[in-house]
Structure 1
């Protein structure tokens, strides 16, 4: 008996010692900035915990059975809170509040140039052997404020008061939203692991599945693909002479398969990736072999004698592909995705396209036979479908969606020029402006000619500066001859438009002149530039489908592709299900929004993702004392003045302070004198001008010029309006403009009720900064135009609705943000820390008088293939930026990628779970079945559909030191979507990412002017390095402009 008692008590003592070691390890992590406890309090806490542990161990050794006078102590590394225990007599007992909190950590001056008040420590949580959620909520009090410091210093806060006690038998009933947040936030009671090195980052495992919300079932356009038992082999392919055209490579390999299938390929059908690899379902009867392929040149031949080209193709075994790792990954037993195997199977399914006439662009296929129509300006759209094989929780999934792309019309070049330049009759030479546009529009287009009696194809390199009658060259005899004369004498072709320039075709260093009138644009060439407003409208009108129509189109596409009958698919042992996948989803609760107390409605719960401003006043109305208006439109002076009066009236009625008389009189100015007028207004008003209202013509290209001058040269906040809305503005239009003006004046339109009452775990318990980031790239072919990176960050806590934005130029096509952190050398100051993250953290400190303990980073515009590189470099930059502010300062970071450019669509199975457009309800979230097998991701449709089929946003967590649960991150993200400043609707992507997108596009105006309206290609570029181009820094945005949400 004594021996067994000794064994038990020794085990208890050893267990307590292990817990103490964990506790000391925890304290070490607390010392590097992971909690608000200060160093002195940590030492005191260590002694306190050690003494408690020794007493408890001694008691357990000396009194094996019975009452422990010290009660229970939790030293577990799972707990964030440390306190002396209290007696646990019964569940009926009232718990007392925690002891007084420690002195506040950090005075205001621990960060450079930021004096202010330190924050006091919170009271300890009540102790309990099995604390309930309510006991944690009723825990420590919020700390006191330290005394103000100087420019580089500030006092620490006084200790926080103890938390209120409460009786466990009569805990107050919480409102629904609080219950939701508490249920979702239980994971916040566990301590996250210390920040890991950026060099060892990998996406976290899924913390579990969400449970909050009204359950429903949706159908996803994902089709299950079952794997067969096959021995898959990968072979390297090399073609000589070297071929750069993917189409020609495919033609060569197709000819090889037809010629040698029976003799050397064992009747196998290889799947070719269009580059340097083929895959077979079974081994070929050789390790390495060279083949000779004779190919008829289809691009340049006459009818009597087809020219043949000969190629040598070497096929060599690379590796045998093992499907075991893929099966283990899909079952969740392995976290490393076998990307090469998935890519192999994707290539097989892509090679199984219904027709060779389909044009492959990326992961999509298009054909005019699937439907086409005019877009204007020499363009047309082709219908098609997108296809991608993805690993999901249910197995391999084939994501198929309807698609449409703009293509060049297959018309004569002359006709294209007339349409593109809007010229009715070509009876004169092109003007210098038209010549520039034509050169830019035609460069890179492939044309075909038949004036020689056979078809010849060539690529346009440019447009000659001289007309055809002036353009001359020397014949082999040394005689100089004009293009017009040459065609007449050699081909007996009399050119009708000798005053037009020539097309320069072929390589740029030895280009040939061809008349436009003998060249025809080849069919099937996609248009890669940005469409203009009319073309976008035409494309949307032609391709917009309501949800049930799109679902039927997808079903038909899958049936027409006949995957089950395809010989290549069958040979590789794949079976594609032809039914859309049913998925369990949830509709998250709608957050409550808070408006100013002086309005009739101070709180609102939006219905189906939208609400209005009737009876409401802005939560924090800005003040505009000094303003004026410039009218560049055709409106009369009286109408312009009336519009301003109506707009001011709405602003005032919604809670803004707005002086009714302009600082300088309203002026009407011709649209040709925009820059002059802006500078004159600035000269007259000086630095007092807070807002400039600008009325523009309906069709204008001056918006970019206005924003560039106002924001980077004059320091003026501007609000542009179109003439057609200003003539007879609706109240809704004026309200929407007022919302934009308010945030530009430093106000806030609305905030989350749960944010200001601090009921959002992880966001509300400690100072948190939410950051959004995006990179936009120029259009394809614009390799000398830099990419623009933008980062925005919340400047208010706990409300998180006001965002400051910064922008930076970087190398073309570079997706990794280069200017998050930088270290420059200055001759006077030495090494100088800088970068956008550092500047935003300092701005947060100045704005809130607090340091963020947490960073939630929403990163837009990153494709899956870029995850690891972007995470590695940008997390490293974030860490360096934090450490540069204070040694050991390491706030916990959650890094979430926001993906909008995907093809997953969700369709409701119950009509009662749809909005008016037939789309799924706002707040619909999915984190099962079609999501990643092991990683933390989800699809969220946070907005109500307007037209067409809603596209949910895909959120993928790449790093999480804040220990978010699935419910908590989904609720937080969905709630933030209701705080977008520019409208009274929930938006489709989380606002910080949306704002970063807007800021990046705004900055493109600074370097491209108004041309950016047609040049920008959006975010999500390839991480390929363009030619070495000197990237000039962007013009600096004026400080007063940066202080507000100027990009809205």
Structure 2
């Protein structure tokens, strides 16, 4: 018999807690592989790599670059040019060995150089000794003919090369399972090979973004706002169960539309005239962008804008002739350029670009400046831009396969002299692999109706909700004046009755509240506060549920403040909509979300109802989904939001509760899973305390003896941190609640951001829903597999990549794969299988929703991480994230 648990309201122990730390090692691949499902022939964007000289050893050297005066030089800007010139000048000294240079401080060779240390003097023709060519506040105009000529004089650099390490190539040549466990040497050898790929791309003049490269050609998509999505290729070497392979994938990055800066600003701010430009926004947008000046054909980096317009901005210019030679006089930027070059006309009344240094401004009129080509745009895209990019950049499977095969033929990776020196050759055809298509789980709806999804999809139109919840004491609030609130409420009631909510359980809304016209000009937070106040006047008590009609379909400014106030302060369940087309299908999808938030169940898996889930149905098992949402690009001070969802109502695997906290910006490891004893006074023992207590309350007073963790958003380099930091915190939280034992853990990382694609070997459609691959292209020693649980309707499907880091529960491969497949069918707001397990998807939704809470809060650079408000007790256990 299981002993009674102290989980719900544990006494706080004052005794020192026992040590719970364990050192976990990443699980190796079991001997068995999955066998269930129908076999299917696939090909994948991995290309087999053969190595004829496996005993090759790479020699690593450290590179130091200085000027003639001994000043350090950052290799990023000039390093590749220097290395090219060094090789041309001193090839014989280097024994004619090819160099693989990372562009900064490290280079590699195949075999050793003649000696361990070198000191070279390298002269670069045409290097710029000065980058001034505007007008400067140092007392003289820069950019005169004399200065321009002097800028193109040759310049000498000192390059020191020092031996640092040997890296055997054979460490990555794992051809049989378990032959070698890849270690740091293997990662270093892969890094060398990947650096060669980057060097190839750099020599072709490509834009490099990590392991992706982009050409300046016409393969771009215009997403508006002066921004383009440019298509290129990701390429990297990967060790796989079938040997070394080259993984190539189509990749897209954002670049600025090259051309006049003024044209970019007009497009970026969606205005027609320069006089309409918001120059405060423009200064933030332009900072760090690179421009080429048309009057002197030189490049500069923008640091800001001038305080005054071009025709008013003064600077001190030295007089060069006459009786006042050597003295200075004040002159405007406009007058200087009019006298020296040509008259600024369009930009005479506009600010100038400052391309100097913080204490030494250097002003250029806007119309003389053009954004340079292949310049990355790293700021956050708007919702409209993201939608446009997704629509225009997607490729059907056949089109993507053609792009990848063409790239292999065009770029001839293995013809590189460095790779050829290693005896490396790469097949030009995609790797063939055998997959399996798992059978979909059976779903249960109202009136005990069964449904077998077809290719990951099912129709809810003729189905009844399994456990419908009453919709009473509710209201409709309308921030969107063109909508007919009354019609929307009638349609929702009609749909609810068709889905099994009986007439007595769904009332007409208590109130229809329209926003006052004068409120539309207020800020988002104030608009929400006014609406709440207006609504409360019509309600004797707070409503149980509110249907909120938003003015914009996506990324409405109202959404974050509305959710924050309703969920944290008022304790009201709420559903936001913005119907562009009213239909029964639309309201069916809305009703699925509403029923879930109110505590209902739309459908369950047949294996849940029959309690036939292997290893879970007999032993209390908690399933966790964990994710961290980071702030948008360009806002480094925005706190990250960590969300964990935990299953409830064991033995069900379809019901979840979320717990959310903020943490330091850009930190991926969740640091609030367990809070020390001294935080009890704040009422916060950490995320896991909430989830453990909820599990106990909803699972017949049982404590979890098994915990399955699905962790999203971490890279391979962070796997050990998940095992030895996050799991340790969960154990501490468990023991802090008065438990002496430790549950068994199964820890799985779920990745969507990878570059492996699966294609049908015969046929032009996406792979079927339920496709699994656990051989050949998987990791040589670690336990991982690919699963495409969903049906790809648009573009090319991307499978989820699951890494099993730990499995103390002891799942057989088939049982684990079928469990994961089933968890893609339990998302209560969906009528399709999701591309990743529902707990991870829920955690992502919860984190994203809470991230909206701080969207309009001004967070200073040095301020502490703001704490998120806690959910109101009336909604804290609900699936608010649906």
Q: Do they superpose with TM above 0.5?
A: yes
Q: Which residue of 2 aligns with 1:858?
A: 710
2:233 to 363, 372, 385: 385
Q: 1:825 is paired with a residue of what secondary structure?
A: helix
Q: Which residue of 2 aligns with 1:1043?
A: 877
Kept in 2: contact 1:530–1:779 (CA 8 A)? yes
CA distance in 1: counterparts of 2:454 and 2:698, whole angstroms: 33
1:335 to 165, 177, 181: 181
Alpha-carbon distance change, 354 to 294 in structure 1, aligned in 2, over 3 angstroms: closer
1:250 to 80, 98, 104: 80
What does residue range 229-628 of structure 1 map to in structure 2 within 5 Å? Answer: 229=53, 230-240=56-66, 241-244=71-74, 246-261=76-91, 263-297=92-126, 302=148, 306-327=152-173, 332-337=178-183, 338-353=186-201, 355-369=203-217, 371-426=219-274, 428=275, 430=277, 434-451=278-295, 454-464=296-306, 466-475=308-317, 479-489=329-339, 491-597=341-447, 602-628=449-475
CA distance in 1: counterparts of 2:731 and 2:460, whole angstroms: 42
Kept in 2: contact 1:923–1:943 (CA 8 A)? yes
CA distance in 2: counterparts of 1:933 and 1:810, whole angstroms: 35
Q: Which residue of 2 aligns with 1:48?
A: none
Q: 1:258 is paired with a residue of what secondary structure?
A: helix
CA distance in 1: counterparts of 2:726 and 2:537, whole angstroms: 42
The superposition leaves residues 126-180 of structure 1 with CA deviations (integer Å, 9 ceiling, x where unpaired) of xxxxxxxxxxxxxxxxxxxxxxxxx99xxxxxxxxxxxxxxxxxxxxxxxxxxxx
Q: 2:630 is paired with a residue of what secondary structure?
A: strand
Alpha-carbon distance change, 368 to 532 in structure 1, aligned in 2, over 3 angstroms: same
Alpha-carbon distance change, 889 to 702 in structure 1, aligned in 2, over 3 angstroms: same
What does residue range 572-971 of structure 1 map to in structure 2 within 5 Å? Answer: 572-597=422-447, 602-635=449-482, 639-656=484-501, 658-670=505-517, 671-672=520-521, 673-685=527-539, 688-698=542-552, 700-725=556-581, 729-823=582-676, 825=678, 834-848=685-699, 849-911=701-763, 918-971=765-818
CA distance in 1: counterparts of 2:334 and 2:656, whole angstroms: 62
Alpha-carbon distance change, 696 to 830 in structure 1, aligned in 2, over 3 angstroms: closer
Q: 2:822 is paired with a residue of what secondary structure?
A: helix
The superposition leaves residues 647-675 of structure 1 with CA deviations (integer Å, 9 ceiling, x where unpaired) of 12212321336432222344354444443
1:227 to 51, 54, 58: 51
The superposition leaves residues 941-961 of structure 1 with CA deviations (integer Å, 9 ceiling, x where unpaired) of 000011110000000011221
Q: 1:352 is paired with a residue of what secondary structure?
A: helix
CA distance in 1: counterparts of 2:75 and 2:854, whole angstroms: 34
Deviation of 1:463 after TM superposition, in Å, equals 3.4
CA distance in 2: counterparts of 1:509 and 1:354, whole angstroms: 34
Deviation of 1:938 after TM superposition, in Å, equals 0.5
Alpha-carbon distance change, 331 to 718 in structure 1, aligned in 2, over 3 angstroms: closer
Deviation of 1:977 after TM superposition, in Å, equals 0.4
CA distance in 1: counterparts of 2:623 and 2:572, whole angstroms: 27
CA distance in 2: counterparts of 1:515 and 1:618, whole angstroms: 65
The answer to whether the aligner puts 1:990 opposite 2:822 as a matched pair is no
Kept in 2: contact 1:805–1:996 (CA 8 A)? yes
Higher relative contact order (CA 8 A, sep 6+): 2
- State the TM-score, normalized to the length of structure 1: 0.76
Kept in 1: contact 2:344–2:367 (CA 8 A)? no
- State the TM-score, normalized to the length of structure 2: 0.89
- Segment of structure 1 superposing worse, 402-411 or 716-725: 716-725
The superposition leaves residues 182-232 of structure 1 with CA deviations (integer Å, 9 ceiling, x where unpaired) of xxxxxxxxxxxxx99433433344352111111111001001112232232
The answer to whether the aligner puts 1:209 opposite 2:33 as a matched pair is yes
- Which runs of no fewer than 5 residues in structure 1 stay unpaired? 1-103, 115-150, 153-194, 1013-1025
CA distance in 1: counterparts of 2:81 and 2:434, whole angstroms: 45
Alpha-carbon distance change, 780 to 243 in structure 1, aligned in 2, over 3 angstroms: farther
Alpha-carbon distance change, 562 to 324 in structure 1, aligned in 2, over 3 angstroms: closer
CA distance in 2: counterparts of 1:258 and 1:445, whole angstroms: 33
Q: Which residue of 2 aligns with 1:107?
A: 4
Count of residues paired in the alignment: 832
CA distance in 2: counterparts of 1:722 and 1:321, whole angstroms: 58
Q: Which residue of 2 aligns with 1:199?
A: 23
CA distance in 2: counterparts of 1:830 and 1:1005, whole angstroms: 28
Deviation of 1:738 after TM superposition, in Å, equals 0.5
Kept in 2: contact 1:626–1:659 (CA 8 A)? no
Q: 2:618 is paired with a residue of what secondary structure?
A: coil
Alpha-carbon distance change, 456 to 713 in structure 1, aligned in 2, over 3 angstroms: farther
Deviation of 1:271 after TM superposition, in Å, equals 0.7
The superposition leaves residues 546-567 of structure 1 with CA deviations (integer Å, 9 ceiling, x where unpaired) of 1111111110111101124332
Alpha-carbon distance change, 683 to 214 in structure 1, aligned in 2, over 3 angstroms: same
Kept in 1: contact 2:542–2:570 (CA 8 A)? no
CA distance in 1: counterparts of 2:716 and 2:676, whole angstroms: 29
Deviation of 1:611 after TM superposition, in Å, equals 0.6
CA distance in 2: counterparts of 1:774 and 1:571, whole angstroms: 44
Deviation of 1:775 after TM superposition, in Å, equals 1.1
The superposition leaves residues 750-805 of structure 1 with CA deviations (integer Å, 9 ceiling, x where unpaired) of 11110221111122121111111111222333211111111111122111212111
CA distance in 2: counterparts of 1:731 and 1:437, whole angstroms: 43
CA distance in 1: counterparts of 2:858 and 2:408, whole angstroms: 41
Which entry has the higher C-alpha Rg, 1 or 2?
Answer: 1
CA distance in 2: counterparts of 1:390 and 1:548, whole angstroms: 24
Q: 2:842 is paired with a residue of what secondary structure?
A: helix
Alpha-carbon distance change, 779 to 665 in structure 1, aligned in 2, over 3 angstroms: closer
CA distance in 2: counterparts of 1:587 and 1:1010, whole angstroms: 48
Kept in 1: contact 2:471–2:507 (CA 8 A)? no
Deviation of 1:475 after TM superposition, in Å, equals 4.8
Kept in 2: contact 1:858–1:895 (CA 8 A)? yes
Deviation of 1:382 after TM superposition, in Å, equals 1.7
Alpha-carbon distance change, 401 to 625 in structure 1, aligned in 2, over 3 angstroms: same
CA distance in 1: counterparts of 2:740 and 2:682, whole angstroms: 19
Deviation of 1:470 after TM superposition, in Å, equals 4.6
The answer to whether the aligner puts 1:981 opposite 2:834 as a matched pair is no
Alpha-carbon distance change, 734 to 336 in structure 1, aligned in 2, over 3 angstroms: same
Kept in 2: contact 1:330–1:392 (CA 8 A)? no
- Segment of structure 1 superposing worse, 794-803 or 698-707: 698-707
CA distance in 2: counterparts of 1:1036 and 1:475, whole angstroms: 61
CA distance in 2: counterparts of 1:228 and 1:509, whole angstroms: 58
CA distance in 2: counterparts of 1:456 and 1:521, whole angstroms: 12
CA distance in 2: counterparts of 1:483 and 1:686, whole angstroms: 67
Deviation of 1:586 after TM superposition, in Å, equals 0.5
Kept in 1: contact 2:127–2:151 (CA 8 A)? no
Alpha-carbon distance change, 563 to 830 in structure 1, aligned in 2, over 3 angstroms: closer
